Amino acid sequence: MDQVQSEVAAVAAINDKTRTQHPSSLTSMDSIIAEAAAYGNDENQSLDAQAQKALECPCVAELRNGACGVHFTEAFLCFLKSTAEEKVTPIN
């Protein structure tokens, strides 16, 4: 498993734990991700440019500037650039 995959797995584990402990935070995090993705959505730009624009969204500024900012940024870029059909981990 490379570094990016490890970081994505770590973010997924944190998200799973957060969902279990705070079900209402699931909606909040999903909303933030959707807002940031929409912020960067421009069909005339490359996927890389759209992803970078999404990271400029004020809605993720606190996450990018926090203690795990670098890891969040890398995992979020990986998520945005993913071509996988299903991007959400089902809640068990």
**Secondary structure string (H, E, C) spanning 14-74:** HHHHHHHHCHHHHHHHHHHHHHHHHHCCCCCCCHHHHHHHHHCCHHHHHHHHCCCHHHHHH
Mean per-residue pLDDT, 60-69: 89
| pLDDT over 70 percentage in the chain | 63
18-34 pLDDT, tens digit each: 445 445 544 587 888 88
Q: Is the pLDDT of residue 9 over 60?
A: no
Q: Is the pTM of this model over 0.85?
A: no
Q: How confident is the model at residue 70 (pLDDT cuts 50, 70, 90)?
A: very high
User: Can you give the pLDDT at residue 8?
Assistant: 52
Q: What are the boundaries of each domain within the chain?
A: 3-81
